[in-house]
Amino acid sequence: MSNDAAPAIAHPEGLPSHQVCEQARLSRDVRFDGLFFTAVTTTGIYCRPVCPAPAPKPRNVVYYPNAAAAEAAGFRPCLRCRPELSPGDGAWRRGDAAVERAIKLINEGLLADASVSALAERVNLGERQLRRLFVERLGAAPLGVHGTRRLLFAKQLLTETDLSITDVAMAAGFGSLRRFNTAFKDAYRMAPRDLRLRPKAQQHETLALRLGYRPPYDLPAMLDFLRGRALPGVEVVGDSAYQRVIAPATGDGPTGWLRVSAWPGDEPALKLELHGIAPLQLQPVVNRVRRMFDLDAEPQVIADTLSVDRRLRPLLKQRPGLRLPSGWDGFEIAVRAIIGQQISVTAARTVAARVAQRFGTPLAAPLAEGLEHLFPTPEALADADLTSVGLTRARAATIRTVAQALLDGQVDFAAERTLEDFVARWTALPGIGPWTAHYIALRALAHPDAFPADDLVLQKTLPTDGSRLTAKALTIRAEAWRPWRAYAVIQLWREAAASASRQPTPKRSKAA
């Protein structure tokens, strides 16, 4: 692509200023990885800002806010810095606007089986308006975002795994090998088989994928949070890794397991190992893990907002890598939230473990050490006698109500829900108050603005004079933290846990 062919596009809303992009590119600033891409007009290639290749001349550079915009302009991904490994743009998590919710649906694969008009309807917009907003905000149309997402995932699988090309096509959401080959050649000007540097003759049962993030990232803190709530038999959390047994999303097929740990070396990435996962389930599993470990967050943007509060400022400096510790399954988180109302984390974990063992699905044989059964489904708990495992009648009734409400469609974990809509639907159920609804939003959806203002720990930890704020006062104080209130919650919970560990007798509180 020559200089004369450089695409002329409007400055998309999601793109940092030219000066910021230029400085980040020249310094290879990892904080901007995935927040913009550098396209080189003389080569027709686009790169991550951290690309180790010699920096091109500024006059040959065009900046794009995302990979889809670069590919829409005719550029191909760099084979050296591999744009498919960059963390996702966290901008879609800043609020509940239509574009943000539409991107969540695209990431869940909606456009693999549905039209753009169906996507627009899900977020209550007209199709033309949705297309216009995507181009203004992202520099690419919805189908372009969807297509780039599929191809980059396929590119990662081709490079990092020994899956057959047919399995890669299925995993990336293409209905046939022919369509995959055509789309790959059209976009990247090479056949999928040409991307493989060596033959992939031997197939391994366990796949390993790199999942990138923007540093800083406090993996020990994430594992510590998950370890304190781990359910024996369902998940195992050690000092350096998280393991879990998972069922196929469709209910058919084999049960598998996953393991998450740090990627070896200094690369800002986690290592995801998958065993027994069918190709069609690979991308949904990867998406869940990225959400669960909060890999697409923008730490600097979050810190800039929360640091306006003098109470939070030193906490952010002390623990800059804290992320939202989400959960694997929404229903599981909802059950655990109900169990955890007004009791300690340890007590809630004990009861939840009994529910999982008594009503979950046992495996014919452990998939790995400590992975012996699946967490129960809504169908299994809708009519279960939960008082037999130590739950009060009221909480047992609430769990059964939630299970039936999920089966009936009264509540869900749909990506198009705004936080307000989600909380309203859940608090309409008997036994579900604002604390529980916001806790579920934080841990099941990883919603960045979820805020359980009724939480006793938050009310006591935010003041430093030993007083306790009311829920109303806490909510007013937290207005300045939007749209990142959930990150303030994690910082305060962590501070409370650290403070409790220094006390002779640990405090008891809600199961945060």
pLDDT bracket for residue 289 (50, 70, 90): very high
Note whether 386 and 278 are same-domain residues. no
Query: What are the pLDDT digits (tens) for 298-325?
Result: 999 999 999 999 999 999 999 999 999 9
Query: What are the pLDDT digits (tens) for 12-37?
Result: 566 889 999 999 999 999 999 999 99
Instruction: Tell whether the model's pLDDT for residue 504 goes beyond 90.
Output: no
Structure tokens at 476: 């007013």
Q: How far apart are the first and last CA of the chain?
A: 54
The pLDDT assigned to 99 comes to 92
Write the CATH number for 470.
1.10.1670
Note whether 334 and 439 are same-domain residues. yes
Note whether 423 and 340 are same-domain residues. yes
Instruction: Tell whether the model's pLDDT for residue 91 goes beyond 90.
Output: no
Instruction: Tell whether the model's pLDDT for residue 252 goes beyond 90.
Output: no
Note whether 100 and 191 are same-domain residues. yes
Q: Give CA–CA dist 34/92, Å, rounded.
A: 13
Q: Confirm if 323 and 223 have CB atoms less than 8 A apart.
A: no
Note whether 419 and 354 are same-domain residues. yes
Write the CATH number for 413.
1.10.340.30
Residue 455 designated active-site:
yes
Query: What are the pLDDT digits (tens) for 34-82?
Result: 999 999 999 999 999 999 999 999 999 999 999 999 999 999 999 999 9
Write the CATH number for 97.
1.10.10.60
Note whether 264 and 221 are same-domain residues. yes
Instruction: Tell whether the model's pLDDT for residue 1 goes beyond 80.
Output: no
The pLDDT assigned to 511 comes to 45
Q: Which of 195, 217, 248 is the last residue of a domain?
A: 195
Note whether 161 and 264 are same-domain residues. no
The pLDDT assigned to 254 comes to 64
Q: Which of 445, 471, 488 is the last residue of a domain?
A: 445
Backbone angles phi, psi at 87, to 5 degrees: -65, 155
Note whether 81 and 101 are same-domain residues. no
Q: Give CA–CA dist 354/388, Å, rounded.
A: 9
Catalytic residue among 47, 51, 78, 81: 47
Write the CATH number for 80.
3.40.10.10
Q: Give CA–CA dist 387/19, Å, rounded.
A: 62
Residue 129 placed within a domain = yes
Write down the residue that tokens 């904080």 correspond to. Answer: 31
The pLDDT assigned to 94 comes to 72
Note whether 189 and 153 are same-domain residues. yes
Write down the residue that tokens 């969540």 correspond to. Answer: 104
Structure tokens at 199: 């033959």
Instruction: Tell whether the model's pLDDT for residue 506 goes beyond 50.
Output: no
Residue 13 placed within a domain = no
**Percentage of residues in the chain having pLDDT higher than 70:** 92
Provide the number of structural domains found in the chain.
Answer: 5
The pLDDT assigned to 205 comes to 78
The pLDDT assigned to 9 comes to 40
Query: What are the pLDDT digits (tens) for 337-361?
Result: 999 998 889 999 999 999 999 999 9
Q: Count H helices, E strands: the chain?
A: 22, 11
Residue 43 placed within a domain = yes
DSSP H stretches of helix in 365-392: 378-381
Task: Work out the widest C-alpha separation in the chain, in whole angstroms.
Answer: 74
Residue 201 placed within a domain = no
Note whether 281 and 302 are same-domain residues. no
As a three-state string, the secondary structure of 427-466 is HCCCCCCHHHHHHHHHHHCCCCCCCCCCCHHHHHHCCCCC
Distance set, CA 197 to CA 155, 192, 193, 254 (Å): 12, 11, 9, 31
Instruction: Tell whether the model's pLDDT for residue 369 goes beyond 90.
Output: no
| CA dihedral for 418, 433, 441, 479, sign (positive or negative) | positive
| CA dihedral for 343, 431, 396, 329, sign (positive or negative) | negative
Between residues 136 and 487, the one the model is more confident about: 487
Backbone angles phi, psi at 235, to 5 degrees: -145, 155
Query: What are the pLDDT digits (tens) for 372-381?
Result: 999 999 999 9
**Percentage of residues in the chain having pLDDT higher than 90:** 84
Nearest Cα to Cα of residue 419 among 104, 89, 135, 34? 104
Residue 258 placed within a domain = yes
Query: What are the pLDDT digits (tens) for 184-243?
Result: 999 999 999 998 865 554 456 789 999 999 999 999 999 999 999 999 999 999 999 999
Residue 11 placed within a domain = no
Residues in the chain, total: 512
Note whether 212 and 357 are same-domain residues. no
Cis upstream peptide for 463 (omega within 30°): no
Letter string b/e over residues 481-508, b meaning 16 or more CB atoms within 10 A of that residue's CB:
bebbbbbbbbbbbbbbbeeeeeeeeeee
Structure tokens at 124: 């209550």
Structure tokens at 293: 């470990």
Task: Calculate the CA 14 to chain-centre distance.
Answer: 19
Instruction: Tell whether the model's pLDDT for residue 120 goes beyond 60.
Output: yes
The pLDDT assigned to 367 comes to 82
Share in percent of the chain as helix, strand, coil (round to 5): 50, 10, 40
Write down the residue that tokens 């081709």 correspond to. Answer: 158
Residue 78 designated active-site:
no
Q: Which of 88, 121, 148 is the last residue of a domain?
A: 88
Side-chain-facing half-sphere of 153: CA atoms under 13 Å:
27
Whole-number average pLDDT of the chain:
91
Range of the domain at 407: 327-445
User: If you ran DSSP here, which 8-state letter would residue 176 be given?
Assistant: -
Instruction: Tell whether the model's pLDDT for residue 143 goes beyond 90.
Output: yes
Q: Confirm if 173 and 147 have CB atoms less than 8 A apart.
A: no
Note whether 83 and 23 are same-domain residues. yes
Residue 39 placed within a domain = yes
Residues 6+ away with beta carbon under 8 Å from 359:
376, 380, 381, 384
Structure tokens at 326: 């989400």
- The stretch 397-418 carries a mean pLDDT of 96
Query: What are the pLDDT digits (tens) for 443-493?
Result: 999 999 999 999 999 999 999 999 999 999 999 999 999 999 999 999 999
Instruction: Sort 239 into a burial class: Cβ within 10 Å, 0-12 / 13-18 / 19+.
Output: exposed
Write the CATH number for 231.
3.30.310.20
Q: Give CA–CA dist 333/231, Å, rounded.
A: 12
Residue 507 placed within a domain = no
3 state SS of 502? coil
